[in-house]
């Protein structure tokens, strides 16, 4: 088995047995995005505890790349701080856009399995959909948390 086969297995495994699948009750953030090019849809729900992503879940449908990426991403980001999640998202984008390579990508863990997507431009939007959701959620959370902090108790 070469590395590509291992990665293929990993992607299929996440697609068939998704981690963190579902919708959180009373989430702090809920982000719904679609990729009309492929028909992918992802709904991401997030709960924060201070600066940490305490809970994360995704729901949706679409191609194996979009759904497997959401599963891998959710598992990778659960329990991380918002800053770490932003950094990992930037790293993933760097990988998919062929801007970052090699050992620098090790922090991506299972998400490294998606590196091959960069050679298939039609699938790049599929792989970025879940990350677009988390970026949107973090962006909105950044604002609302600081506003909440400033509000009188
Ligand atoms: Zn797709």
- State in Å: Cα 50 to ligand 1 middle: 33
From residue 33, alpha-carbon distances to 4, 22, 50 in Å are 29, 15, 25
> Taking the domains of the chain in order of start, what are their residue ranges?
3-140
Distance of CA 52 to the CA centre of its chain: 15
Indicate whether 73 pLDDT > 80: yes
Query: Mean pLDDT, to the nearest integer, of 54-71?
Result: 97
The pLDDT of 118-125, averaged and rounded, is 93
133 in Cβ contact with 45 (< 8 Å): no
What is the mean pLDDT of the segment spanning 106-126?
94
Task: Tell me the per-residue pLDDT of 10-38, one tens digit each, with 9 for 90 and over.
Answer: 999 999 999 999 999 999 999 999 999 99
Ligand 1 midpoint to CA 18 (Å): 16
144 pLDDT above the threshold of 80: no
- Average predicted confidence (pLDDT) for the chain: 92
Distance 39 CA to ligand 1 centre (A): 6
Confidence at residue 95, expressed as pLDDT on a 0 to 100 scale = 97
Query: Is 86 a residue whose pLDDT tops 80?
Result: yes
Identify the CATH number of the domain defined by range 3-140: 3.90.1010.10
Q: At what angle are helices 124-150 and 82-96 packed, to 10 degrees?
A: 160
Going from the Cα of 151 to the center of ligand 1, the distance in angstroms, rounded, reads 41
Centre of ligand 1 from the C-alpha of residue 147, in Å: 36
- Mean per-residue pLDDT, 55-67: 97
State the distance from the centre of ligand 1 to the C-alpha of 65, rounded, in angstroms.
6
Share of the chain above pLDDT 90, in %: 86
Asked whether the predicted pLDDT for residue 143 surpasses 80, the reply is no
User: What confidence score (pLDDT) does residue 142 get?
Assistant: 77
Distance in Å, CA 75 to ligand 1 centroid: 20
What average pLDDT score do residues 69-94 get? Answer: 97
Between 148 and 24, the more confident residue is: 24
Beta pairing class for 52-61 and 29-35: unpaired
């Amino acid at each position: 088995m070469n590395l590509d086969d291992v990665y293929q297995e990993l992607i299929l495994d996440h697609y068939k047995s998704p981690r963190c699948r579902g919708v959180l009750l009373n989430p702090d953030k809920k982000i719904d995005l679609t990729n009309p090019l492929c028909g992918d849809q992802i709904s991401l729900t997030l709960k924060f505890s201070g600066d940490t992503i305490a809970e994360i879940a995704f729901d949706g449908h679409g191609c194996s790349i979009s759904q497997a990426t959401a599963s891998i991403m959710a598992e990778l980001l659960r329990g991380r701080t918002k800053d770490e999640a932003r950094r990992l998202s930037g790293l993933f984008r760097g990988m998919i856009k062929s801007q970052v390579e090699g050992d620098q990508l090790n922090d991506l863990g299972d998400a490294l399995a998606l590196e091959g997507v960069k050679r298939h431009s039609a699938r790049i939007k599929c792989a970025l959909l879940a990350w677009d959701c988390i970026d949107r959620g973090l962006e909105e959370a950044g604002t609302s948390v600081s506003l909440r902090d400033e509000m009188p108790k």
